[in-house]
Amino acid sequence: MKKTIYTVILVLIAIGFYFYETQRNEAASQNILDQEDFQTSQQQDADGFKPLSRKDFLPSSINQVIHHNTYSLSYNETHEQAEWTAHILRESDIKTNNFKRPYFEVDNTVKTGAAHWRNYKKSGYDRGHLVPAGDRTSSKNAYNETFLTSNISPQKHEFNAGVWNRLEQKTRYYAKRYDEIYVITGPVFKGEMDEIGTENVTVPHSFYKIIYRQDESDNGKILAFLMPHKESDQAIYDYVTSVDEIEKETGIDFFSQLSDNIENRLEASNSSKGW
């Protein structure tokens, strides 16, 4: 009888500790976002704009949204990976530091449990970053934060090291050219897809990246890419699409924070003109 009581007490303690840690993580996550938004609201760049904040254009989500120090994500438990990541990329984020690549770590802030990196071992797929490590070379801590398993997705090596890498490099070029951009990245789950590992991590059908920048019109400009998950020698601009098309493919609502007339116009654009 005593053994049963002790077992029940231990279970209750464990449950209580889980909820305590969950609430603490969520509070810390929200505080990171609020602090960033407050700091940017007090500043003004050389063009008279308020610096971008992640809070400005977070996409919709019915899943857990987590705010790390330098990026946010929405974790899709069904597919065991983020359905989107969002980060601000500034010229100051891109340095020539040659940091040693750390080991991947399980993201303990994911309530349902983030997939383990071992799912990728001998799977034939790379641990493909969504927020690239190359976007976070200003400090070792920022760099290491991209090696959480919530920030990776199964990618064919030829895709990851090829056309997708070229897109990531071009994105950094835009950050240097315009000083700061808002970047949203994610996988597309569509049709019959493979799964890897014991946790059945979905291998995405394709990947998207959406880039937003402020401009003198005060309406901003958007450039969106949608790439099939396969090797390609084509120019990245062959994959330019509209945000409307990505919304259709993913079911995610982007840039709802904009006024309807500006949102409709920007999201319908499928041109790289002006970039």
Rounded Cα–Cα distance for residues 134 and 148 (Å): 15
Q: Are 244 and 264 in contact (CB under 8 A)?
A: no
* Cα–Cα dist 107/115, whole Å: 8
Q: Which of 129, 157, 205, 229 is catalytic?
A: 129
> What is the three-class DSSP state of 90?
strand
φ, ψ for residue 135, nearest 5 deg: -85, -5
Dist CA 253 CA 256 (whole Å): 7
| Helix pair 260-268, 243-250: axis angle to 10 deg | 90
Q: Report how far residue 208's alpha carbon sits from residue 52's, in angstroms, rounded to the nearest whole number.
A: 21
Retrieve residue 156's tokens.
Answer: 């064919």
Separation between Cα atoms, residue 106 and residue 116, nearest integer Å: 6
Q: Where are the beta strands (DSSP E) in the chain?
A: 64-67, 72-76, 81-90, 126-129, 152-155, 180-188, 195-196, 201-202, 206-213, 221-228, 240-241
Whether 67 is a known active-site residue: answer: no
Which tokens sit at 84?
Answer: 């989107």
In the numeric block, which tokens belong to residue 191?
């049709």
Instruction: Give me the active site residues, please.
Output: 129
